[in-house]
Chains A and B, each alone.
Chain A
């Protein structure tokens, strides 16, 4: 059995098409209130590039490849860690008003 992947041009196009459609649909339903965390969240997701960097670095066999591969992993890791840190901080702030019923936007008689 051989589990190595071989993605040729057309298969790649199918993957790209479906992934692009999925991204468009997923983001299309996000309310404007979450746009900044979402931009940051999608920024975190493309940090997966660090995996590609690791692959390139582990397969490096010359010094230039090693140096550039090192920077690929360094930058990718920065993308991942920073993206997660800021997105997590932003999202942790969104709280509903249910614990505090007085703050709920219901019309009340004048005081």
Chain B
């Protein structure tokens, strides 16, 4: 009786949880409802976790004697894992968001792989379908785990240069083949009952070791600039692994949540790759960012430095200004200063808007988050497609710490590494001011001809310092007028 009641409750609560996950994600599709979306999904999660303690009433006879220990272990693991993650997640800086997502995603992949491990060590997966699904889920989960950890280390700049060696792709393929071979051998042994060359636990460990190694080798050669796409792929992969293990455990909530995330992550990955004008396979298997051959045409014009105060006053008396923020803004932690400056302009009657490139920042949409953190209302922030035609009639574009995303070479220069990437048409506005630390190049390592155009002036210096000077200049004007 108690068993059936538990099963009924678990089934009902998991059904509600699966609904709340999808409803929560749906609410995240608009900035107005997004905050409540994560809350809705959170309720589903808490309910599902609490309900899973009802599994205590349905455990297999073999596990009965260990139930108390297992319950204790479960509570310990929940409090330890949840507590540390919660604490870190609450205090980490907003600029560190991409690596945090990588880290938490890796944990999810590791958990999926560990579930598969329990099934394999306990010999619970029977039947050819369940075995194959367990092993595939284990492989994807383990690759996502070790790969995400490497991605985290790269974004955290623990690992700096991309690591490449001769025959790398052949090595990776060989390791993957080994993993698949060991997996196939495990299935063969379990189905035929033949005597294995190694004991079953050893075989399982070998399988996981190969899978983890593959995740590391796959991620090592990829440069830091491409990490967001890699994290997105691993996010989708973890979702898939969770969905597959959900099938093994006969839990539809895991299947639905995992597969929803798998599909969503795949779509997000494709959107990101398209924004960078690169294919996903190109990101995973090419050596972007090491040696970029410089075959640039002649650049006409010269770099014309301007004083921060002059630029500020020009914007103060402009009718319309579009701000193009890049990662340099975030690196200088100048978002709040920028918004203070923009508030001065808007209160003087200037029409100011923000134009955000899909790959501004280190993760698509990260710049939006950083601007929102500074207090910029989301209806002042415009995406590439919505604002690109408006540059033409705009008086001033203010480019801050962005380079490749406003490089007009992407439109014209076929030999350029960024050719074809959609860019913000800052060069089409009547005047352009570029705040830049120095004369260096962007991520892609190429010179930006926009900076040499007649209508472009460079304001050199740290973004926070320059914006401070700009604010001073405008305040000075107001005081002089009063």
Contacts and interface: CB of A to CB of B under 8 A. Distances in A.
A23 B373 CA distance: 28
A19 B346 CA distance: 46
B79 to A, nearest CB: 8
Contact of A48 (B48, B235, B372): B48
B254 interface: yes
B14 to A, nearest CB: 8
Contact of A44 (B41, B111, B272, B348): B41
Contact of A103 (B21, B62, B73, B380): B380
Interface residues of B, number: 146
A106 B380 CA distance: 10
Contacts of A55: 52, 55, 249, 251
A21 B232 CA distance: 18
B352 A45 contact: no
Contacts of A66: 66, 69-70, 73
Contact of A58 (B51, B70, B111, B372): B70
A81 B369 contact: no
B325 interface: no
B67 interface: yes
B84 A78 contact: yes
A34 B365 contact: yes
Contacts of A97: 377-380
B317 interface: yes
Interface in A4-49: 4-7, 9, 12, 15-16, 19-24, 26-49
A46 B257 contact: yes
Contacts of A4: 7
Contact of B118 (A56, A78, A108): A56
Given A51-B52, A69-B118, A80-B45, A106 B351 contact: yes
A90 B31 CA distance: 11
Contacts of A6: 250
Interface stretch (B95-103, B431-439, B443-451): B95-103
B203 to A, nearest CB: 13
A45 B48 CA distance: 12
B377 A103 contact: yes
A18 B227 CA distance: 30
Contact of A3 (B4, B255, B375): B4
Given A73-B81, A74-B80, A78-B82, A61 B122 contact: yes
Given A69-B114, A74-B81, A80-B49, 5 more contacts: A19-B259, A39-B365, A65-B118, A88-B39, A96-B378
20 contacts: A3-B7, A7-B252, A26-B22, A33-B383, A37-B28, A43-B105, A43-B238, A44-B41, A49-B258, A51-B49, A51-B254, A61-B122, A70-B73, A70-B76, A73-B74, A77-B82, A81-B85, A83-B108, A95-B372, A103-B346
